[in-house]
Structure 1
Amino acid sequence: MTGLSADNAATAGPAQKVRTSVSVGGHDIGYPNGHLGHLSHEEEEALRSFKVFLEEKGDYQSGTPPSHDDQTLLRFLRARRWVIPDAYKQFHDTEEWRKANNLDVLYDTIDLEAYDQSRRLYPQWTGRRDRRGIPLYLFEIRHLDSKTVAAYEKSAETAFSKAHPDGSTPDKLLRLFALYENLTRFAQPLCTQLTDREHAHVPITLSTNIVDVTGVSLRQFWNLKSHMQAASTLATAHYPETLDRIFIIGAPYFFSTVWGWIKRWFDPITVSKIFILSAHEVKPTLESFIDPMNIPKQYGGELEFKFFDLPNQDPYIKKTATWENGHTDFPLGPLYWRPIDGGKRLECIAAGSVNKTPRHERVCTIPVSFPLPETAAAAAAAAKDQEAELASTAPTEEAAVVTEALKTLDVTDGEKKVEIIEKVAEPAEIEPKAAPATVST
């Protein structure tokens, strides 16, 4: 398999315009086709039918919020070529795997040192995005030698979280999946909310990866084969459609042999997105997909970022965030987002543990541009809190107005509740001595 030619790469234009030529089952898989807002009639029907099928099987609950968002369900449909029974099997197996291994507990309680040991061995987010707004990761294989892997696997034998897995997945691999949780629970939701991209209404569910194999010998590849195969197989099974473009750089002369092993670890759609670049193709090809300011300097770009570094955050991200608790950047370790202020903002929570002491603090907040499934529930919860506050402070006749107005609304209609409560709480309608100083939304 060869990469883009230098001539074609140089004239390809913005990355969002570069499309894969692969079509599977009549479905064009070029981004953003197959994603929310860009579904064909058949794909929309497949998503609707998939939800019904999953709910009948007990693996999905509709409602506000639903148990799983649409973009997650679409990942499984795309991975299984929109065949509902196949997508269901992969989805069900993944749900059972997550429960058996307490993935949520693992991510929330993993020791920060153990997390960083894993981070330093696997693809790392640069803090930047490609031209489509998809997070950009870097992986330098030469650091994953047999001695380092052996030491890492030995350290995994000691407890590193409060999770109690069933033992079906080795601990040495479970720590890796804390990084995949970080991708799906932190990096992708963050990039989804950033509007400086062409398809700002499309939620981000992918990642772009630069894989540098410079200086890796055939012996090292061979020694790592079983470890990397096991990790890739589990990732493909349980985190489908989270990889998009993969650029392999620095391939040695024997790489065609190695490629024969590697391509069997991925599904055909993923294989179609892998570009093996020669030295003269690297800079022009990467620039066709990634702005030079976001390409690490060692690959011809302008970004100060080396493997092992913490993410060099995009200035737009730093400007968008309102930092709290002394933070000016995202700290090391597990991070996730949850809605606040009636779903109008998201807060970033730093999780994990230090010396077995849980860490749980707000890092920053960002405005919501793409509503999350939790938003409606958060709005309802915020309205309920305000309703209780007004019940204890508002004059009796005004409280009655609130109560009567809310009776006409569905209990989950949080945003409308907030509007009514705010209107009744206006100073012109409630005497100052009785009104709260502010009404949080």
Structure 2
Amino acid sequence: MTAEYEGSAPAGRVQSSSSASQQAGVFPNGHLGHLNAVQEEALGRFKAALQDKKLWRPGPPPSHDDQTLLRYLRARRWIVDDALAQFKDTEEWRAANNIDTLYRTIELDAYEQSRRLYPQWTGRRDRRGIPLYVFEIRTLDSKTIANYEKQGANSTFSQAKTDGKTPPGLLRLFALYENLTRFNQPFCTQLTDREHPDVPVTMSTNIVDISGVGLKQFWNLKGHMQAASQLATAHYPETLDRIFIIGAPVFFSTVWGWVKRWFDPITVSKIFVLAPHEVKPTLEAFIEPRNIPKKYGGELDYTFGQLGIPDPAWDGVVRWEKGYSSFPSGPLLWEDVPGEERLACVRLGAENGKLVREVICTLPRTWSPPERTVDESNQTDSSATTSTNTAATTINDASDGTQTTEDTLDEATQTEGPAEAIEKLALDDDDDKAKTPEVTPIPAATAAA
């Protein structure tokens, strides 16, 4: 899912050294505006199936945008029936737990407590303009998690109801996923200093630091991480591009044995463990040095726990309001500015039960969903009677061009380039068993939020 990069990108420009569009299975292949014929057909059939089940309305505006629907198709290897099943399960889960209400009414202190424990946005992006997150797992000890879950179960932190099945202590975590998909990714989509400004951003890049974490701590976190990971994998598919694990101890291969069952092969193929000598060259291949935290060999003065540091590239683009000069903690989303081609970032949530609403900033609308033509609309509506089973067979048989299996994703990372560490991402761990496995999954909570 990634391309290889070399050198520093020109000022004000995020660009890779090789054309991602020329590599099968590499961003932006399979994303809006870069679909092959089979993928286009899958999207059309998926919409028809969703509309038939009353799970999607074409609008305008549509109930769900194309980039969201494509996440489910990519996650399910373009098999429409499988994507339909996952989408249906997610919609039912969201409705049963009032996820939208949760995000809009969560107490700001409850949100901040979650934000400080889980992956945090640095305020920066990788070379393709995808948001960069950092996660230090050692902050999650068993006592902290027990207290976090207890507070979540015994307090009313939003106006949302629950289904009685999802652990209430975990629900606050999903406000962070909503922040990724409803604030951060749309924000990065509107920034044009990236290689493919025509493609909406729907993923994240993550640095996960597990240094200082012992085997006992991993074991004590097992139940919490398993529940969080499985829910996130099920309901927020295809929201990560790469996770780089740093500081893995020698026993991490033992942890991999019981963690790998929580993920599908596509997710596993995106998660890599870096040896100490690989950290700096690998991160620089994917991220400009100025956007890499100093702790990992970069130039960004960022420490885990602080809010994201505004990028100088935003100067002249983001117009801050009410004295703000950076994004605050809390649920944020974007709304149209009436009468202007601009979007407003609005902070929601609640303080002591009183709902909050304030405008943080505005920025120009530079990207909008492509308008559907009349012919396309008719084609979607008329295709509702087409068998999705036939579509699934066609897509599965013709999926060689989509390159979405674990093997082909690994092949995509083995392109020629100056960063030798990139090649090692896809190597077998046979020659390095005594260190750490080359491909090791971690909780899906690191993929977002």
**Distance across 2 between alignment mates of 1:247 and 1:284:** 12
Task: Return the offset for 1:260.
Answer: 2.1
CA contact (8 A) 1:64 1:373 kept: no
Q: What residue identity is the alignment partner of 1:40?
A: N
Larger Rg: 1
Q: Aligned to 1:291, which of 258, 279, 288?
A: 288
Shift of 1:373: 8.2
Residues 58-77 of structure 1: per-residue CA shift (max 9 Å, x gap): 00001210110000000000
Equivalent position SS for 2:298: coil
Q: How does 1:33-48 map to 2 (within 5 A)?
A: 33-48=29-44
SS of the aligned residue for 2:132 comes to: strand
Render the CA deviation track for 1:60-112: whole Å, top value 9, x for unaligned: 00121011000000000000000000000000000000000000000001001
Indicate yes or no: 2:328 matched with 1:328.
no
One-letter amino acid of the counterpart of residue 100, structure 2: D
Which digits, 9 at most, give the CA deviation of each residue in 1:384-425, with x for residues without a partner?
xxxxxxxxxxxxxxxxxxxxxxxxxxxxxxxxxxxxxxxxxx
Q: Is residue 187 of structure 1 aligned with residue 161 of structure 2?
A: no
How far 1:261 moved relative to its partner? 2.3
Asked if structure 2 preserves the Cα contact closer than 8 Å seen for 1:16 and 1:31, the reply is no
SS of residue paired to 2:172: helix
What's 1:60 paired with? 56
What is the alpha-carbon distance in structure 2 between the residues aligned to residue 321 and residue 15 of structure 1?
Answer: 21
Does 1:338 find its partner at 2:373? no
Q: Identify the residue that residue 120 of structure 1 maps to in structure 2.
A: 116
Match of 2:195 in 1: 198
- Cα deviation for residue 372 of structure 1 reads 4.7
CA change 1:174–1:16 in 2 (3 A) is farther
The ranges of structure 1 where at least 4 consecutive aligned residues each deviate by more than 4 angstroms after the TM superposition are 8-20
In structure 2, what residue type is equivalent to 1:174? Answer: L
Q: Which amino acid aligns with 1:104?
A: D
Q: Shift of residue 317 of structure 1?
A: 2.6
Deviates more, 1:318-327 or 1:333-342: 318-327
Amino acid at match of 1:352: G
How do residues 24-39 of structure 1 correspond to structure 2 at under 5 angstroms? 28-39=24-35
Cα distance change of structure 1 residues 140 and 15 upon mapping to structure 2, 3 Å threshold: farther
Structure with more contact order per residue of length (Cα contacts < 8 Å, sep ≥ 6): 2
From 357, 361, 370, the equivalent of 1:360 is 357
Counterpart amino acid of 1:242? T
Q: Assess, with a 3 A threshold, how the Cα gap between structure 1 residues 195 and 255 changes in structure 2: closer, same or farther.
A: same
Residue range with higher mean Cα deviation, 335-344 or 229-238 = 335-344
Quote the offset at 1:313 in angstroms. 1.7
SS state at 2:208 partner: strand
Note the residue ranges of structure 2 that are not aligned, 5 or more in a row: 372-449
Q: Which moved more, 1:282-291 or 1:360-369?
A: 360-369
Match of 2:301 among 276, 283, 304: 304
SS in 1 for 2:187: helix
* C-alpha contact 1:9 1:284 (8 A) present in aligned 2: no
Which residue among 127, 135, 138 is the counterpart of 1:139?
135
Instruction: Measure, in 1, the Cα distance between the counterparts of 2:65 and 2:141.
Output: 38
Distance 1:99 1:116 in 2: 24
**1:215 aligns to what?**
212
Kept in 2, the 8 Å contact 1:66–1:373? The answer is no
**What TM-score results when the alignment is normalised by the length of structure 1?**
0.79
Following superposition, the deviation at residue 17 of structure 1 comes to: 5.2
Report the secondary structure of 1:126's partner residue.
strand
Change (3 A) 1:190 1:10: closer
Cα deviation for residue 326 of structure 1 reads 2.3
Q: Is the 8 A contact 1:80 1:87 kept in 2?
A: yes
Q: Aligned pair in 2 of structure 1 residues 327, 175: CA closer, same or farther (>3 Å)?
A: same
Contact in 2 for aligned 1:211/1:249 (Cα 8 Å): yes
2:159 corresponds to 1:158: no
The Cα of 1:152 is off from its aligned counterpart by 0.8
- For 1:246, the equivalent position in structure 2 comes to 243
Distance 1:12 1:308, change over 3 A: closer
Asked if residue 93 in structure 1 is aligned to residue 97 in structure 2, the reply is no
**Partner secondary structure for residue 50 of structure 1:** helix
**Which residue identity lines up with residue 179 of structure 2 in the other structure?**
N
Distance of 1:245 and 1:19 partners within structure 2: 18
Distance in 1 (CA, whole Å) between partners of 2:16 and 2:169 is 37
Residue in 2 that maps onto 1:237: 234
Percent identity of paired positions between Structure 1 and Structure 2: 64
Compute the displacement of 1:10 (Å).
Answer: 7.2
Structure 1: how far apart are the matches of 2:73 and 2:339? 31
Q: In structure 1, how many angstroms separate the alpha carbons of the residues matched to 2:175 and 2:314? A: 23
Distance, in Å, in 2 between the alignment partners of 1:74 and 1:154 is: 36
Go from structure 1 to structure 2 and tell me whether the alpha carbon gap of 1:114 and 1:37 turns closer, same or farther (over 3 Å shift).
same
Secondary structure at the residue paired with 2:316?
Answer: helix
Task: Mark the runs of 5 or more structure 1 residues left unpaired by the alignment.
Answer: 21-26, 375-441
After superposition, the C-alpha distances for 1:308-359 in whole angstroms (9 at most, x for unaligned) are: 1111121223531111122222111000001123561111100001111111
Match of 1:402 in 2: none
CA distance in 1, matches of 2:361, 2:258: 43
Kept after mapping to 2: 8 A contact 1:246/1:274? yes
